[in-house]
């Protein structure tokens, strides 16, 4: 997994490098797309494979892509950045809440219902 996260870091670095000379306002939503997609990495391992990661990846990627589209069509970048940030924050909060529900069930050797 550490190789995957190094690749993710390089992809983010590349996006920042490219977008800083094109349209700096696209950097934040582009990073949101990349961060959203990184949840798919957890599906590579049977131990962490879960529909939660697929849903999180979809919502995160869509939030970032929608932000990129809004900025490309002339929407206010500050408002768009706030909306994308709130979406990513909500996704992270929901992911953490689900994680906190699943881990105790696993420690009690129960089968969590999120597979």
Query: Considering the domain boundaries, does residue 87 fall inside one?
Result: yes
109: left (phi over 0), alpha (psi -120 to 50) or beta: left
* Domain count of the fold of the chain: 1
Query: Considering the domain boundaries, does residue 69 fall inside one?
Result: yes
Structural domain boundaries enclosing 21: 2-107
Query: Considering the domain boundaries, does residue 12 fall inside one?
Result: yes
Whether 92 and 35 have beta carbons less than 8 Å apart is answered as no
- Predicted structure pTM score: 0.84
Query: Considering the domain boundaries, does residue 43 fall inside one?
Result: yes
Query: Considering the domain boundaries, does residue 112 fall inside one?
Result: no
Query: Considering the domain boundaries, does residue 57 fall inside one?
Result: yes
pLDDT tens-place string over residues 26-83: 999 999 999 999 988 888 878 778 888 999 999 999 999 999 999 999 999 999 999 9
């Amino acid at each position: 997994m550490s190789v995957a996260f190094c690749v993710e870091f390089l992809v983010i670095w590349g996006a920042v490098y490219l977008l800083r000379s094109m349209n700096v306002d696209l950097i934040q939503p582009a990073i949101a797309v990349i961060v959203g997609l990184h949840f798919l990495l957890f599906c590579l391992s049977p131990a962490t494979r879960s529909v939660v990661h697929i849903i999180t990846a979809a919502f995160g990627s869509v939030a970032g892509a929608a932000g990129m589209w809004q900025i490309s069509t002339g929407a206010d970048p500050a408002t768009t950045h706030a909306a994308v940030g709130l979406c990513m924050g909500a996704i992270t909060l929901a992911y953490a809440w689900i994680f906190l529900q699943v881990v105790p069930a696993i420690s009690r050797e129960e089968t969590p219902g999120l597979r």
